[in-house]
Every structure is written in structure tokens, then in C-alpha cells.
Structure 1
Amino acid sequence: MGKNTLKKEIGLLAASAVVIGMVIGSGVFFKPTAIYTATGAPGLGMIAWIIGGLITIAGGLTAAEVAAAIPKTGGMIVWLEETYGEVWGFLLGWVETVISFPANIAALGIIFATQAVSLLGLGDEMLIIIAIISIIFLIVMNCLGAKVGGNIQTVFTIGKMVPILAIIVFGFINGNGGVVRLFPVSVATHPIATSLGSALLATMFAYDGWIHVGNIAGELKNPKKDLPKAIIGGLLFVMAAYILINMAYLFVLPASALAATKTPATDVATLLFGAAGGKVITVGILVSIFGTLNGNILTGMRVPYALALENKLPGSKWLSKLTPKTSTPINSGILIGVIAIVMTLSGNFNQLTDLLVFVLWIFYVMTFIAVMVLRKKKPDLIRPYKVPLYPVIPIIAIVGGLYIIINTMFTQPLNAGLGLVVTAIGLPIYYMRKNKTAK
């Protein structure tokens, strides 16, 4: 094994935990507020969760074919390069390295610190300190090896399910609302088309993150079999958990109450378990966010490493180095961590994340279309897994993704334009590095 070769030591369980852990974070606890504010009715909110899950699963079923056929470290970057050319893979890697992953890490660090400060009764001056410490700690842990990062992900993914399962079970048993709380489907003051669109966007944020498991494909023991299983199995589990916990929420509180609070899960838990229930859920939220933060670091640090291996980034020789004993891209982890910490200090991570949503969904749709392109372009490519009901499932994923893109263009034209500008900045860097390598 060469010094720049990643170790294949991640199994199906850890890969599935990455999918579940990357998706289930703060969204399951906080997104009900936005969804029921948008819909004004419980039924339409539940429909949004279901449709969002179906679009995500269609995307997972579709992307899994490309992932199994091209099981290389870098995930979507490599898939786009194989399909459309290396410039598209670079642009995605550029966006993920400079803004997407660092912004997510910074945001999760701040949310984690906010919950910790609230639970421990600390002053707000500790918020940034705790956020930075949590980020540095997990970067150090992941630099000890993919196995360590994978084990952390597995443990915290299991741990985050405890409060979710508690709310589901006791919500169904002790909730006073009953099934009637799922009705009405809509209200006159909230037009179905626009309300469902806004709610669907919120659910898609909650479902996001699963595709990044492809970044560790090169470290899976059996990527061709385990990668599609991890994606599909993980997403089915997430969708079931989201639908059940939202039903439990509605059995305890009406949609109007969920829309009026910033902490729907804590409010529900307080009613179910008493005053101590709020603190229990706060601990559960901490566990959930910590696991998601770890998943973003585990997968994010592989992105600049994959680009550096091909000498596509300034400082590629340094970024492509691995630790001698654990074969971990430590320098790439440091880069991601430093950018994340700067974003944490600046306080602009939420705006940066919003800017990139539009652009990232363009790459998602391109990945879904890649299944069709590769079937024509490379019919002899070995495909251990093929998307079922082709081409229906890919079309569902593509249409769902296009809806998000078009909706953002109309509702947030400034953010969409700024996102494209940030992405375009990567073009001169790509061509400069390409010319330098050619010479």
C-alpha cells in the first residue's frame, strides 16, 4: 500500500451511520416550525415531509447506480468528472472545499455551542469558544484514522435515535390529539401550491447530506455492494423516522403551536415527560448535532484531498499528504477546519450556506442525469447496482431537483446569482492549475 493510499476499513454499518448521521441533525428538531408556519395545517405539512422523502429516496436510488459503478474517493466530484469532464468535478470540489463543508461545520458548531450554553447555564461569551473547541476536537479525532471517525459516527448515530424514539413512542401512547390532528390538510389562508412549495424546501434541507457518503467510497471494504445499500437503507430509515416523529409532534401539539415555537421538540418533550423532558431532549439535540458535525468533518476533509491528488488546488503537494500510520488526509482536514473556524468567528456561515443551496442542487441534478448519460456513453461500464424502474425513478429525482432550482431563482434571485458568482471564481483557478500542470 502506497503512502498516499487510503485504507479500506469502513464497513456497511459505519457507512449507513454516515448517511443517517449526515441527514439527521438539527432539522428533525427545528424544521417543524418552518414547515407548519408555511402550511398552516398539519396535513399539508405531513405531505411535504412525505414528498420530500420520496424525492430524496428517488435521488438516492438514482445516485447509487453511479456510486456503485464509480466507487472512488471524492464521491460526486468523481462522478461528474467521469460524465461531463473534469472542470465540472473541480467546480463542485471548489464549492465544497471553500464554502459548503466549512459553512456546514461552522453552523453545526454554533448550534451545538448554543444548545450547550443553554443546558449548562453558561454566558453567551462561551458560545464561540465551545463551537471552536468542538470543531477542533472532532478534526483531531478524525485525523486519527477513518476507523476512529467511523466509530464516532456509529456511536452518535445510535445515540441520537434515543430521544427521537422516546418522542415517537410516548407521543403515540400519551398524545391527546389522536389521528384527527393530521387534519385539515390545508387552510384557506395558505394556498396549497405556494405553501407546499415553501414547506417542501424546508424538508429538503432536513433530508440533505446523504450524498456525501460517496466521499469515503475509496475507504469502504466493499464499495460496490455497500455504498448503494448504505444510501438506500439509510434514507429509508431517515424518512420513516421523520414521518413518525412529526406524527408524534402532532399528536401532542397542534400545527399552530408547532409553528409558533422555535423549539418544537423540546416543547413536546416537556409536555410528555415534564420539565426534565426539555433537558433530556436538549442533550439529545447535542448528541444529534455532534454526530452530524463529525459526519461533515469525516467526509469533508476528503474533498480537498481528492482534488490535491490531481494537483488541482494551490498547495496540492501539502494537501495530498496522509498520516504515516492511519493514512488520513490530515492537512486537508486542517484546511477545512481553519476555514470553518474563520466562518465561525465571522458569523456569516448561515448566509454562505444559503448562497450555495442553489448551486449545490444544480450539481445534484447533474448527478441524477449522469445515470442516463453514462448508460448511453458507457454501456459496457460494470454496474453492480442498477436503479429500479428506470427511467421513472431518475425522472422523479430530476424533476424534484429542478423544482428546487427554479423556485430559488424566482424567490431568491440575489442568492442564486451570488452563488453562481462564487462558483465561477473557481474557473480561473482550474485553468491556471491545468496550464501549470501541462507545462
Structure 2
Amino acid sequence: MSKKLKKNIGFAAAISTVVGLVIGSGVFFKPQAIYTATNGGPGLGIIAWILGGFITIMGGLTAAEISAAIPKTGGMMVYIEDIYGERLGFLTGWMQTVLFFPGTIAAIGVIFAQQASELLGFTSDNMRVVLPIALGIILLLALLNIIGSSIGGGIQTVATICKLIPLILIIIFGFIKGNSTSIISPLTGPGVNAFSALGQVLIATLFAYDGWINVGALAGEMKTPGKDLPKAIIGGLSVVMAVYLLINIAYLWIAPASELAKVTSPATLVANKIFGPIGGKIITVGILISVFGTLNGYILTGSRIPYALSIQGYIPGSKYLSKVNKGGSPVNAIWLTSILACIYALSGQFNLLSDLTIFAVWVFYTLTFIGVIKLRKEKPDMNRPYKVPLYPIIPFLAILGGLFVVINQLITAPLISSGGIIITLIGLPIYAYKKRAA
């Protein structure tokens, strides 16, 4: 088998991957966690969507400079290695390989299964139904991506187009049929301190915004990464933020935040109120297509991380994980990511898995933002097809946002944060062993 990935991913597939990775489970399901944290107060939730979007766009504008300057397969892992050295680069890839990608795939698979379970007439907590669906959808998409990266990119483009339909319908009819009530007042419900709750709701919105940086992992398979990658990240995020704000206003104009906090799928609740039971089911199918596309995007990009690590011989089984089939896909790396995801999915916990992965990945996002400033100082003559505007203001804002996320999680969710740190640090003895054996 060849070890060279084919350059067959263009701008359309790249921007579809950004939008597809970001708009998925979060916008449909995270309002429950947000308005539960605010005790039914809508204001703080809307602020968190705006602030989360702002932090994400600042991060996207910042990280795109490195993505364009270092257009190699591996994404953030490669950026960190070039900036900070081999050990930290490996640790980034290790975290993504064993925690972030499989954990996120598992979380999305679980929420897909819960929504499908309700559509089939079962309850969302019926694990006898939910777990087989979750495992089945993960393995199905693994098989489709093994056929070839161009097929994975094609699935992404089609799913992204399909997912916009329920979003647009909810937005349009939500504004037409909804009541123009306040979406800012009250800021929180009784007994909730707005400042202390902000971190919790921001983590939820950042999960909904997450995925934007992962298209960088496809750089080695893109036709013109220096030109297309920054446009895909920035253009995709601008679309996402606009959609998120509009649809969350539409949600609140149809159902109060206190009601959205009580259901697994606030989007389905709103769709049922707007279109009735049958129309609501049709919209739910559209939501499932959206989540399907997001899941595919994470499998498509996530499997490239263990592939990149294996090319360097850094992880156990590198000889097998570096193999690429005739369709141009890293077949064994896809299986590794998907099998780990299935193991995580056995927990059946959407919010727990998503919180765990968001904390771990934002540690390295923040290092990436800092890396832009570090590279500007150490390598001023480096070829930069794209430069972050308003430097150094935008990178500084991105760094502040990242530090807030990481520190807040350490304080408010120490057990989840500790789990992420332990799983990540397990990579250090593995790296040391492989270096000695080399």
C-alpha cells in the first residue's frame, strides 16, 4: 500500500468541512445545557453565543496564519511541533488521537442515537436502543471514509447543504410565528449568579462552535492549501456565527428558555410547535442529517492525526497505522479512531464527553494562538500566505479567551479537567519509550 495521501480536496469540500464540523449537534442540543445552567434565564445564554462566536472568530483569524504557513497533514499537531518542539507536538497529536477526536465522535454518536431513538418512538435514555444506534452510525461512517477521502469530502458537501434546510426553516418560521419577547431579560433565573454561570454556558457554546481548526488536518490533501485554507476557516465561521445567533433568537421567540432547558432536543421542541407533529418529524430528520455530516467530518479529519504520528513512527503500531489504501485513505488510522470512539460511546453521556474534550483541546488551541506571536518574533521572514489582521490585538484577544476557558474549567469542573490532563500526559512515557527505541 502507498503511504502518500492524494491531493483531491478542493475549496468547496474544505469550507463545507468547516461549516459541517461546526454546525451539527451543538446548535440543536446544547441550548438545554445552557438554559439549565442559567435556570431558565435567556439573557446569559444569548451573551454566551455571541461571546463564544467572538472568541472562535478571533481564534480562527489567528490560527489561520499558522495553517497557511505550515500547510501539512496533521493540523494543530504539526503547528505545535514546529513552534514548540517535537515532544509537545507529539503530546498534541496524542491528545487528539486518544481523547479529543474519539471522545467528540462518541459524544456526537450518542446524541445522534438519542435523537433517532425518540424519532422511532423510544425514550432518549433507553440504552438498549441508543447504544446500538450510536455504535452502528460510527462504524458505518468509518467504512464510508475507508473507501476514499474524496467520498468523505463528498458526503460532507451534501450533508452541509442538507443541514441548512431545517436551520433556515426554523429561523424563517420562528421569526414569522414567534412572539417578539425579550431575549435578554432576565439575564439568569432565580438563584443563579451570572458571572459564575458564564463559564459553564460558554463551554457549552464553544462545543457548538468547535471543529473549525480541524480542517487544517486536511492541508496535505488540499489542492491549494495556502490560498483555500484561511478562506475556508474564516468564511465558514462567519456563516456559522450568523446562523447561530438567528436560530437561537428564533428558539426563544417560540419557546421560553425555561422550557428549552427541560428537553433533550430544543430544536425538535421548537419544530413541533411551528410545524406540528408531522412537520416536526421531518425537521428532526434534517437535524439527524446535520449531525450525520458533523460526525463524518470528525472521522474524516480525526483519522489523519494518528496517520501523521505513525508516519513519524511515534506511536505503537506505526507500521500499520501509516498504511493508505487504493482510495487514498489511511484505513487503519480510521479504524483506530472509530474503535476508540465506540469505547467512549459506551458511556452514553453526551455532555460529559463534550465537556471533557473541549477542556483538553482548548489548552492546545491557546498554545497555538501564542505560537503566532512566537513565530512572528523568531521567524519574521517565514512565508505567510495569510497574516492575521490587526496584529497583535486579535491574537491577544484569542489568547485571553483561551485562558478563560481553561482556567474556568479547572476551577468549576476539576474532575473532568483532571481526567483530560491524565489521559493527555500518558503520552509522555510513550513518547520517551519510542525515542529510546528509535
1:43 aligns with 2:43: yes
Is the 8 Å Cα contact of residues 104 and 353 (structure 2) preserved in structure 1? no
Q: For residue 343 of structure 1, what is the aligned residue in structure 2?
A: 344
- Give 1:280's aligned amino acid: I
Residue aligning to 2:14 = 15
Structure 1 residue 178: Cα displacement:
0.8
- Counterpart position of 1:130: 133
1:255 to 247, 254, 257: 257
SS at structure 2 position matched to 1:260: coil
For 1:363, the equivalent position in structure 2 comes to 364
Deviations 1:205-240 (A, max 9, x none): 111111111111101111001111111011111100
Whether the 8 Å CA contact 2:46–2:183 is kept in 1: the answer is no
**1-structure distance, mates of 2:341, 2:87:** 25
Cα distance, 1:346 vs structure 2: 5.2
CA contact (8 A) 2:107 2:349 kept: no
The equivalent residue for 1:282 is 284
Matched, 1:426 2:423: no
Go from structure 1 to structure 2 and tell me whether the alpha carbon gap of 1:317 and 1:187 turns closer, same or farther (over 3 Å shift): closer
Distance 2:36 2:108 in 1: 23
Matches within 5 A, 1:301-312: 301-312=303-314
Instruction: State TM-score, norm by structure 2.
Output: 0.94
In the aligned structure 2, how far is the partner of 1:104 from the partner of 1:95? 12
Contact 2:272–2:279, Cα closer than 8 Å, also in 1: yes
Q: Contact 1:9 / 1:147 at 8 angstroms: preserved in 2? A: yes
SS in 2 for 1:384: coil
Instruction: Look up the equivalent residue of 2:231 and give its one-letter code.
Output: K
Q: Using the alignment, how far apart are the partners of 1:227 and 1:197 within structure 2?
A: 30
1:289 is displaced (CA, Å) by 1.1
Sort the Cα spacing of 1:34 and 1:127 in 2 relative to 1 into closer, same or farther, 3 A. Answer: closer
300-309 vs 408-417, which deviates more? Answer: 408-417
Q: For residues 411 and 358 of structure 1, what CA distance do their matches in structure 2 show?
A: 11
Q: Aligned pair 1:402/2:406, yes or no?
A: no
> Take 1:389 and 1:156, find their aligned partners in 2: how far apart are those partners?
35
Q: CA 1:199 to 1:393, structure 2 compared with 1: closer, same or farther past 3 Å?
A: same
1:146 is the counterpart of 2:145: no
- The one-letter amino acid paired with 1:59 is G
2:414 corresponds in structure 1 to: 413
Q: Look up the SS of the partner of 1:381 in the other structure.
A: coil
Residues 51 and 78 of structure 1, relative CA distance in 2, 3 Å threshold: same
Q: Judge conservation of contact 2:73–2:216 (CA < 8 Å) in 1.
A: yes
* Structure 1 contact 23–238 (Cα < 8 Å) conserved: yes
User: Within 2, Cα distance between the matches of 1:242 and 1:350?
Assistant: 19
Tell me how far 1:341 sits from its aligned partner.
2.1
Deviation at 1:57, TM superposition (A): 0.2
* 1:336 alignment partner AA: T
1:103 Cα deviation (Å)? 1.7
In 1, Cα distance between the equivalents of 2:416 and 2:27?
Answer: 25
Offset of residue 349 of structure 1: 7.5
Q: Shift in Å at residue 113 of structure 1?
A: 2.1
Conserved? CA contact 1:99–1:353, under 8 Å: no
- Distance (Å, rounded) in 2 between the aligned partners of 1:429 and 1:151: 36
> 1:25: which partner in 2?
24
For structure 1, which segment, 40-49 or 309-318, has the greater mean C-alpha deviation from structure 2 after superposition? Answer: 40-49
TM-aligned CA distance change 1:423 to 1:114, over 3 Å: same
Question: C-alpha displacement at 1:181, in angstroms?
Answer: 4.1
Farther off after superposition, 76-85 or 270-279: 270-279
The equivalent of 2:387 in structure 1 is 386
Deviation of residue 260 (structure 1)? 3.2
Displacement, 1:149?
Answer: 0.2
Amino acid at match of 1:193: F
Distance in 1 between residues matched to 2:189 and 2:418, nearest whole Å: 34
Deviating more after overlay: 333-342 vs 141-150: 333-342
TM-score (norm 1): 0.94
SS at match of 2:147: coil
Task: Report if the CA contact (8 A) 1:33-1:262 is conserved.
Answer: yes
Contact 1:117–1:124 under 8 Å retained in 2 = no
CA distances 1:230-270 after superposition (whole Å, capped 9, x unpaired): 11011111100000001111111222222333321112111
Task: Give the fraction of aligned pairs with identical amino acids, expressed as a percent.
Answer: 57
Gaps of 5+ in 2: none
Alpha-carbon separation, structure 2, partners of 1:38 and 1:241: 23
Kindly tell me: are residues 418 and 263 of structure 1, through their superposed partners in 2, closer, same or farther at Cα, counting changes over 3 Å?
Answer: closer
Secondary structure, aligned partner of 1:430: helix
Residue 81 (structure 1) aligned with residue 81 (structure 2)? yes
Paired with 2:250 and 2:347, the residues of 1 have a C-alpha distance of 38
Aligned equivalent of 2:120: 120
Decide whether the 8 Å contact of 2:113 with 2:130 is kept in 1. yes
Whether the aligned pair in 1 keeps the contact of 2:108 and 2:350 (CA below 8 Å) is no
Letter in 1 for 2:35: Y
State whether residues 266 and 277 of structure 1, in contact with CA within 8 Å, keep that contact through their aligned partners in structure 2. no
- Deviation of 1:416 after TM superposition, in Å, equals 2.1
SS at match of 1:143: helix
Q: Deviations over 1:284-317 (max 9, x none)?
A: 2211111111011000110100000000011111
Partners of 1:345 and 1:189 in 2: CA distance: 35
1:14·1:150 contact (CA, 8 Å) conserved in 2?
A: yes
C-alpha distance in 1, partners of 2:353/2:101?
A: 11
- AA in 2 matched with 1:50: I
Q: How many angstroms apart in 2 are the aligned matches of 1:263 and 1:315?
A: 40
Cα gap change, 1:116 to 1:41, in 2 (>3 Å): closer
